[in-house]
Amino acid sequence: MTSYPNYLHETIENLWRNPFAIHEVDPALKKDPYLWISFIRDLPIGLSGLREVPKQILKNQIFFLETKKTILSHSDFIFSNLPEVFKNDKDIVLDNINKKAKKDENYVMAFFEEEIPEKFKQDYDVILLMMSKITKNTPVLTSFLKEANNPLLRNPNFILDCLKVNERFINFFIHRIEASFKSDKKFMLDAIEINHKAIEYASAELKEDRDFLIKAIQKNPQLKYERYFPRDIKTDPEVENYGDKITIIKVPSLPLYLNFQAEINKEEIIQFKETILEVAKRIKASKLPNFSKALAGELYVGDKPFFKKNYMVNVSSGASASYDLLDRCIYFYTDHDQSLGDAIRDLSHEFGHRYHHTVVKNGMNNERVRDLYKEVRFSCKLPQIGDPLSDLREDWWNVKRGSESEYYLSKIEKVQGWKEDKFIYINDEGLEKTFSQQQINDLISCPSQYGSKSHEEWFAEMCNLINFNKVKPNQKTLVDRLIQILEEETI
């Protein structure tokens, strides 16, 4: 038991055995703050005993300070049960936010909206701690501040501190701050130093100010990797030594720019440029209408760790390239081991995505392309005994490399009930490959196995099928229909 004044020994011992005996304590002793300090601190009744404390004791500074220590030492307590004098203490409010945040940020928001005294809803430290403890509720808190016309949103230091403690705050930056801040060069540079995304919300005048843009990169070199950032600023000698160097090359006679990671040497750049020129040659000669319009924009070349660090790209382990729908750019991964021919096909595939997204009317939501995919996927002519598996273009990788002997359909097993029939293919070595009817449907309608993944991948692989002259006789009608649609549906 914690020590307390000797004259309270007998009383405390009695209260330890029966805390309700507090009502029988000598009225004169009840005026002693140390009795109540010990009653709350040392006895099993704990903080729930606060409801028994007389009003005059609650006003006592010694009692307040000692009991405040007890409250702060508790791992958990019910804030709403505290007397007003403790509810209005900033340290206790901050402590309660921290403790609730360890459980669930929803508790923090509920505490802020329902329990916290109004005066703390405009307190710099309280709101900043709130901002640091929430993620998914960031829009709820920022909306509350805006609707309440909270003066903190007119405080530039508060805005900058919020950016430091909560990454998601940047998403609501433009809607929550004073318009004048967006034209304030010093404020915007300070914000950019914390989070490079802040430049998106700078005023139009600042975005055209070359000196400001140079200083922005010097404050935060991450801007060199932003797709929308002016290309001539990224390569300006004044920022050359800030962040990783990026080499940018324009493809001759095309509005297409190649962005290379610093570690890529001159020979590799020349080789990749030749690869792109070969891809462009095939696309320009394509039977697909207006495909050459997809040869524009930005193409980024580097290894996967570089993209994850600087572009926050989610890269699958087996991917050699990818297309970014949001920024309409292509990423090519140099650490994916592949031949020159594979690189050409993979890049052509990604340009197929860009073609679908930017040249086809209504992009990847074009209904006629979607309808064609659905039609061929679910209304296929099934293969007959003796047909080669290559007619279905079963395996894109094997088709490209031609590394396996041909498989022929040798048996169709009829399966009763809800299960699908089985199609069994065998090659000259006696090796078998078995497919369900749904898999066969996918292989018939899709130019490759990967193309059966979605209508977007089907379209990109169809582009490759056409561009590399790999159309099989049984696919010619389908290809003709797709070309006819695109003649009417491209921009």
| Per-residue model confidence as pLDDT tens digits over 453-488 | 789 999 999 999 999 998 877 688 889 999 999 999
* 32 and 169 housed in the same domain: yes
- Residue 382 DSSP label: P
Label residue 149 by pLDDT band (50, 70, 90).
confident
User: What pLDDT was estimated at residue 399?
Assistant: 42
Question: Which domain-ending residue is among 333, 359, 385?
Answer: 359
Question: Is 238 a member of any domain?
Answer: no
Q: Count of domains in the chain?
A: 3
Nearest to 200 by CA among 226, 235, 166, 180: 226
Q: Where are the beta strands (DSSP E) in 379-430?
A: 407-413, 422-427
Q: Is-contact 153 178, C-beta < 8 A?
A: yes
For residues 199-208, give the mean pLDDT.
92
Residue-number span of the structural domain to which 272 is assigned:
248-359
* 26 and 86 housed in the same domain: yes
User: What pLDDT was estimated at residue 417?
Assistant: 64
* 213 and 88 housed in the same domain: yes
Give the count of alpha carbons within 13 A of 246, CB side only.
Answer: 30
Nearest to 113 by CA among 130, 98, 125, 129: 130
* 386 and 352 housed in the same domain: no
User: What pLDDT was estimated at residue 396?
Assistant: 40
Task: Tell me the per-residue pLDDT of 15-36, one tens digit each, with 9 for 90 and over.
Answer: 998 988 999 999 999 999 999 9
Maximum mean pLDDT: which of 53-67, 96-110, 310-324 = 53-67
Label residue 95 by pLDDT band (50, 70, 90).
very high
CA separation for the pair 343, 330 (Å, rounded): 13
Tokens 């979605």 locate to 454
Exposure string of 323-349, with b = 16+ CB inside 10 Å and e = fewer, is bbeeebbbbbbbebeeeeeebbbbbbb
Task: Tell me the per-residue pLDDT of 396-425, one tens digit each, with 9 for 90 and over.
Answer: 444 444 446 788 999 999 877 667 789 999
User: What pLDDT was estimated at residue 452?
Assistant: 59
Tokens 């601190």 locate to 41
Percentage of the residues of the chain whose pLDDT score is greater than 90: 55
Residue 268 phi/psi, 5° resolution? -65, -35
Task: Tell me the per-residue pLDDT of 62-85, one tens digit each, with 9 for 90 and over.
Answer: 999 999 999 999 887 889 899 999
Look up residue 248 and give its two tokens. 């940018």
CA separation for the pair 234, 457 (Å, rounded): 33
* 14 and 85 housed in the same domain: yes
Maximum mean pLDDT: which of 1-10, 195-204, 279-288, 370-379 = 279-288
Q: Where are the beta strands (DSSP E) in 310-356?
A: 321-324, 329-333
* 120 and 160 housed in the same domain: yes
Q: Considering the entire predicted model, what is its pTM?
A: 0.65
pLDDT reading at 384 higher than 80: yes
* 380 and 353 housed in the same domain: no
Label residue 160 by pLDDT band (50, 70, 90).
very high
